[in-house]
Amino acid sequence: MSTPDLAIAPSSRRLPARLFHPRRLQGLAPVLALLAGWEIASRSGLLDPKLLPSLLTVAGRAGRELAEGRLAVDVAASLARDIAGFGIGSLAGIVVGLALGLSRAAGRLIGPSFNAVKQIAIFAWIPLISVWFGVGEEAKIAFIALAAFTPVAVNTWEGACAAPCKLMEVARVLEFGRWRSLRLVILPAALPAIFAGLHLGLINAWLATVGAEYFMTVGPGIGGLMTEGREHFHMDLVLLGVLLLGLIGLALNTLAARLEARALRWRHR
């Protein structure tokens, strides 16, 4: 009767050890210190609570927004824009990057212009996008797609050019066609760079989501939530938006890193 208990006991002891691993606690230390400093500064009167509400005040505001159903709508709207823009931009980036990497003519003709255009700051495109797409939902998604497009295209281009020469020679000896060479040689060699570009594109897309919501037409979204807080001087609402941006951005970054590691684990076998 004691055998099952002995089998379960070690795994039950490992779980707390993982949760409270020293490295995890070290990583949380700066965040906890920042939150503690925030709370102390607000409650001690070191900073005006109207400018820096306490964490409890922000938490109360979050509870009210959730109860009214507004917070869920705002988060869902921002995530929907982010996913749509990232999907369009990353797909276009992979296509353009492969075209530039696989075609010497395309690299010579389009490459220099692309390298020049990618130096333009993303927010400099807002006036043009507003003229071309208006200031509604289409403009926001176009702006997010543009933010995701550049890192994906650049990394895919570099990855497509990184196929080992020896493997390409073997493909020629075996008389692989263009599509077979692409599937068996070029894409496997380019995958690490493509995933790195997708990771950067996801981060850029999230930053652009907030920028689009903040600088374009106000509507449902975390950017709109922060704009409303700024206009009515509800700093608890603004800080709630800041915390949401950080938490969701961290979640997206963690998800992207894990998907990338899982997709590329064959490289370590």
72-264 classified as CATH 3.30.565.10: no
Is the pLDDT at 6 greater than 60? The verdict is no
Residue 145's pLDDT is 94
Q: Quick check: 186 and 163 in contact, CB under 8 A?
A: yes
**180's tokens:** 């077979």
What is the arithmetic mean of pLDDT over 81-92? 94
pLDDT digits (tens, 9 = 90+) for 227-267: 888 888 888 888 898 889 888 988 888 888 888 788 777 66
Please name the residues in contact with 231: beta carbons below 8 A apart, sequence gap of 6 or more.
Answer: none
Q: Hey, where are the domains in the chain?
A: 72-264
Dihedral sign (CA 181, 185, 187, 190): negative
Question: 54: closest CA among 235, 248, 226, 245?
Answer: 235
Is the pLDDT at 48 greater than 50? The verdict is yes
pLDDT digits (tens, 9 = 90+) for 17-32: 454 555 655 666 777 7
Residue 192's pLDDT is 84
pTM score of the predicted model: 0.77
Most confident of 57-71, 120-134, 141-155: 141-155
